[in-house]
């Protein structure tokens, strides 16, 4: 058995870099991902619509997320969302000047590509 360890709040990059998506663990129909945002948002008019369920937790920072047809939800540390398959959603904003760290658990996602691929 090989152990893997890490720290969710280390290696966050910086404000000049792109938003980061890192698969931490994958297996048995689930994928756990760390996302680090530095003021990024979904492109204008773009909606995510996934064929799998996703549970998302804001670990650090702040963000505004909207599900289609609903009010904007402001999220801070400890706040989480359940996004069922087919739920159209978008990130309206993330905090500028410091990282927003998300922990996303994807359930029922079709497994493709090598581990660690986004």
Query: Cβ atoms within 10 A of the Cβ of 109, count?
Result: 18
Residue 49 pLDDT level (bands cut at 50, 70, 90): very high
CA–CA dist 97, 116 (Å, integer): 27
The answer to whether the beta carbons of residues 62 and 29 sit under 8 Å apart is no
Which residue ranges form the domains of the chain, and what is each CATH number? Answer: 20-107 (2.60.120.10)
How much is the pLDDT for 89?
98
Instruction: Say yes or no to pLDDT of 114 above 50.
Output: no
Task: Tell me the mean pLDDT in the region 45-62.
Answer: 97
Query: Is pLDDT above 90 for 115?
Result: no
Q: What is the pLDDT of residue 16?
A: 80
Question: What pLDDT sits at residue 57?
Answer: 98
pTM of the model: 0.87
């Amino acid at each position: 058995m090989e152990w893997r360890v890490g720290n969710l709040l280390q290696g966050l990059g910086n404000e000049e870099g792109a938003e980061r998506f890192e698969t931490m663990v994958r297996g048995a129909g689930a994928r756990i991902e760390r996302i680090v945002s530095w003021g990024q948002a979904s492109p204008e008019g773009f909606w995510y619509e996934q064929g799998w369920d996703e549970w998302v937790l804001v670990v650090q920072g702040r963000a505004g997320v909207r599900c289609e047809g609903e009010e904007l939800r402001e999220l801070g540390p400890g706040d989480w969302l359940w996004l069922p398959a087919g739920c159209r959603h978008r990130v309206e904003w993330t905090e500028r000047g410091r990282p927003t760290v998300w922990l996303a658990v994807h359930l029922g996602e079709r497994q493709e590509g090598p581990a660690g691929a986004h």
